[in-house]
Structure 1
Amino acid sequence: MATQDQRRAETRTRLIDAAADLFARKGFHAVSAEAVAEAADRTTGALYNHFGGKEGLLLALLEVWKDQTAADLLAGFEEITEIDDRLAALFDVLTSDHGDRGASWLLLELELWLHGARDPAIGEPLARRYAGIRARLAEGLADWADTAGVPLRRSPERTATAVLGVLIGCAVQHRLDPAVVEREAVVESLRDLLNL
């Protein structure tokens, strides 16, 4: 028999998974707390108990998504030795099906951005999340440049911002028209940014 902590963790996971799917497909504002609870086979009271409401659920989802995306980006990355393959792998993570998350991750990211742009309570944590991603990427780029002996044209921080912009911008375009945004073109753009 499951413990109370295990049941709480399962409820939390089910609510977050249901929210991820519904928010990505329908948009944050079009989905009620009741719809999320129903999709998770839980009560609305459970949603409020765990997250305080739909906004709290969105913030929790943001944290889970950050961790999952980082894990996806890092999985197997160290084993890839060729720079073009590494750059392609970064783009592939942003455009692949992501296993059980399906292709909804990009839709959810865009939904988070839209909601964050309109609501500082979501926008501020989202901005901090991206600052952390840029900082980790900048650190990795600086280490890579030192190891490879390839000086970056710009500071690691500015390079990280540009790399993230290319990856996400191309992923957004790829979502709408995959044939137009080829991974080779993305790799070429990243090579230019990295002074290769």
Structure 2
Amino acid sequence: MEPPKRRRTNTRARLLEGALEVFAERGFHGASVEDICDRAGFTRGAFYSNFGSKDELVIALFQATTDRLIEQISALLPELANEPVTLLDAVLGLLDEAAPDQRRWHLISTEFTLHALRSPDAARALNEQREAFRSRLTHLVEEIAETNGLEFSVPPEQFVRLVIALHEGARSQSLLEPRKVPAGSLEQTFLPVVLEAVTR
């Protein structure tokens, strides 16, 4: 018999995957808890034993995605820490691989961000999750800079914010105009230039 902790972990994972599919198809507001449960094969009771609301579930999706990204970047450090530009390319590749489907993830993250702009509670939860992610990513950036004897002329967190902003904006353009703006092309062109400009 499956241990309770593992069973709970598996239930959460299936609910998250089901939510990804339903949100992408019907939108955050168009998808109901029942829709998510039906897709995942669970009851409302299973949902509410793991998540207090759809908002909480989406924050868990953000958390799972960023946790996986941080783990992957950390794994790259021993091999690439002395090559910051190469590492930057690798990180950008991971940003595109962190979510299973970039179009699906972009739909969900954009819609929830709009929801958060209208809901103080959702904004608070999303800001907390994003701040935690930026903090962990900033720590990695500082570690890379120290290894390479580099010093930032701007706060490293501001550089991280720029990386995220450029990536998110470029992803939107790439999804709309894939031929004119291939995925990752803007980041690969401009971030090395920015990195050189803000370090010495």
Q: Give the TM bin, normalised by the shorter chain.
A: 0.7 to 0.9
Question: In 1, distance between residues paired with 2:90 and 2:171?
Answer: 13
Query: Which residue pairs with 1:194 in the alignment?
Result: 195
Query: Which residue pairs with 2:45 in the alignment?
Result: 45
Query: Which residue pairs with 2:84 in the alignment?
Result: 83
Question: In 2, distance between residues paired with 1:62 and 1:184?
Answer: 24
Contact 2:23 2:31 in 1 (8 A): yes
Provide the TM-score with structure 2 as the length reference: 0.81
* CA spacing shift, 1:157–1:96, aligned 2, 3 Å: closer
Q: Which segments of 5 or more consecutive residues in structure 1 lack a partner in the other structure?
A: none
Question: In 2, distance between residues paired with 1:184 and 1:60?
Answer: 29
Give how far 1:156 is off. Answer: 1.4
Query: Which residue pairs with 1:141 in the alignment?
Result: 141
Q: Which segments of 5 or more consecutive residues in structure 2 lack a partner in the other structure?
A: none
Cα shift readout 1:128-149 (whole Å, capped 9, x = no counterpart): 2222222233333333333323
Structure 1 residue identity aligned to 2:51: F
Structure 2 residue identity aligned to 1:10: N
Cα shift readout 1:18-50 (whole Å, capped 9, x = no counterpart): 112222333210101110010011112221232
| Number of residue pairs aligned between Structure 1 and Structure 2 | 194
Question: In 1, distance between residues paired with 2:146 and 2:43?
Answer: 53
Cα shift readout 1:99-154 (whole Å, capped 9, x = no counterpart): xx233333332233222222222211211222222223333333333332333231
Query: Which residue pairs with 2:101 in the alignment?
Result: 102
Provide the TM-score with structure 1 as the length reference: 0.82
- 1:117-128 equivalent positions in 2, closer than 5 A: 117-128=117-128
Question: In 1, distance between residues paired with 2:158 and 2:98?
Answer: 29
